[in-house]
Amino acid sequence: MAIINQATKELQVKIVYYGPAMGGKTTNLVQVHDHVQTAAGNKGKLVSLATSSDRTLFFDFLPIEAMSIKGFKTKFQLYTVPGQVIYNTTRQLVLRGVDGIVFVADSQYEKMAENVESFTNMEENLKTLKLNLADIPYVLQYNKRDLPNVAPVEYLEFLLNNREVQVPSFGSTAHRCEGVFETLNMITRMLLNKFIRQGTPQYA
Partner 1 sequence: MATLPQLIEEDIERLDYELRELLEKTDASTALIIDKGGFLITSQGDSRQFDLTTIAALASGADMANQTIANLVHETNFNSVYQQGEKHSMFVLCIDEQCMLTVIFKASLSVGAIKYFSLPAAQHIALQLKIAQQRDPGSGLDLSELNLADTSDLFKRKG
Residues that bind partner 1 (CB under 8 A): 1, 3-9, 11-12, 14, 32, 35-37, 44-45, 47, 49, 58-59, 61, 63-64, 66-72, 74-75, 77, 79, 89-90, 93-94, 96-98, 129-131, 177, 181, 184-185, 188-189, 192, 195-196, 198-204
Helix (H, G, I), strand (E, B) or coil at 178: strand
Sort strands 3-5 and 10-18 into parallel, antiparallel or unpaired.
antiparallel
* Cβ closest to partner 1, residue 20 vs residue 179: 179
* Cβ closest to partner 1, residue 45 vs residue 163: 45
Element (H, E) at 99: none
Least Å distance, CB 1 to partner 1, is 6
Residue 33 φ/ψ region, left for φ over 0, alpha for ψ in the -120 to 50 degree band, beta for the rest: alpha
Least Å distance, CB 190 to partner 1, is 11
Least Å distance, CB 20 to partner 1, is 22
Cβ atoms < 10 Å from Cβ of 202: 11
Q: Are 145 and 106 in contact (CB under 8 A)?
A: no
* Cβ closest to partner 1, residue 2 vs residue 150: 2
Beta-carbon contacts of residue 18 (< 8 Å; ≥ 6 apart): 25, 80, 81, 91, 95, 101, 102, 103, 104, 118, 122
* Cβ closest to partner 1, residue 68 vs residue 162: 68
Least Å distance, CB 28 to partner 1, is 12
